[in-house]
């Protein structure tokens, strides 16, 4: 039985808030502050933390009087929040199935737009204590592997690779978002973890000695497509569409590709 780590219940639905702007006053979430200041609330998959923060800063610079509030968490958790009525203007998912949950619930303002792709990679502590060299090694007895929970896009991708290769991983823990897997590996709590190539690249850019990255050809069996859409009922519908355009436009695409994301 896989151990479920991280708060996948009510606590997980809170998400991780990251303010892209200087103001912490959100004017009632997706509302408007006194003096005409507007706050755009963007829900985005945890694997988009660095890239969407950059895109949001640029968006604010191009839109005077606008603050972008970014909420990062697992895509499945974010969809659950939106289905329960949480106010948001834009949603970016790490896969299409979770976006379909939003559209099926009638919460998308228009058709979602694919804007990036991502694949998995293996990360280990710098000294690689378990001697991991391939995806098959993750199925060996005694190897402490950390993965995302199956309802999270990165966890579903891991299951797809397992099914395609016939390798069975028995993880010591399952996380609610990919950044938690990365944290378990860099802290030495796990011998190896499955994360997106973009997460590994970002961690190594900040600290070249943070971890060891091991790419594997079987990752092509599970390519996640990331879609983005304006949320129905947004008080800033036009602004939300402009943010979607910023993500899918040339400048946004360069930020994403520089971070290691593939083209949609």
Residues annotated within the binding site for molybdate are 47, 75, 178, 196
Q: What share of the chain is helix, strand, coil (3-state, %, to 5)?
A: 40, 25, 35
Q: Is 62 left (phi over 0), alpha (psi -120 to 50) or beta?
A: alpha
For residue 109, give the 3-state DSSP assignment: coil
End-to-end CA distance of the chain: 35
Radius of gyration of the chain (CA): 18
d(CA 124, CA 12): 25
Residues forming the annotated binding site?
A: 47, 75, 178, 196
Please, which residues bridge with residue 71 across strands? 17, 43
Beta-strand relationship, 113-118 and 120-124 = unpaired
Coil, helix or strand at residue 1: coil
């Amino acid at each position: 039985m896989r151990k479920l780590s991280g708060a996948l219940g009510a606590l997980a639905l809170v998400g991780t808030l990251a303010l892209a702007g200087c103001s912490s006053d959100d004017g009632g979430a997706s509302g408007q502050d006194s003096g005409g200041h507007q706050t755009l609330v963007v829900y985005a998959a945890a694997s988009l933390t660095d890239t969407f923060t950059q895109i949001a800063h640029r968006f604010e610079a191009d839109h005077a009087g606008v603050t972008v509030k970014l909420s990062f968490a697992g895509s499945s958790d974010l969809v659950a929040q939106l289905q329960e009525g949480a106010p948001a203007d834009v949603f970016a998912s790490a896969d299409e199935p979770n976006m379909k949950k939003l559209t099926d619930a009638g919460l998308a303002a228009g058709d979602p737009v694919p804007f990036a792709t991502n694949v998995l990679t293996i990360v280990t502590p710098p000294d690689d204590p378990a001697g991991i060299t391939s995806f098959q090694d993750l199925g060996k007895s005694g190897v402490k592997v950390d993965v995302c929970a199956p309802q999270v896009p990165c966890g579903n991708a891991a299951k797809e690779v397992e099914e395609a290769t016939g390798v069975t991983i028995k993880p010591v823990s399952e996380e609610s978002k990919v950044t938690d897997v990365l944290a378990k590996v860099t802290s030495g709590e796990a011998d190896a973890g499955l994360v997106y190539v973009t997460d590994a690249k970002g961690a190594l850019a900040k600290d070249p000695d943070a971890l060891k990255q091991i790419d594997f050809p079987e990752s092509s069996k599970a390519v996640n497509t990331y879609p983005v859409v304006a949320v129905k009922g947004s008080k800033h519908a036009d602004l939300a569409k402009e943010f979607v355009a910023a993500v899918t436009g040339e400048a946004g695409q360069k930020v994403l590709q520089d971070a290691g994301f593939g083209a949609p």
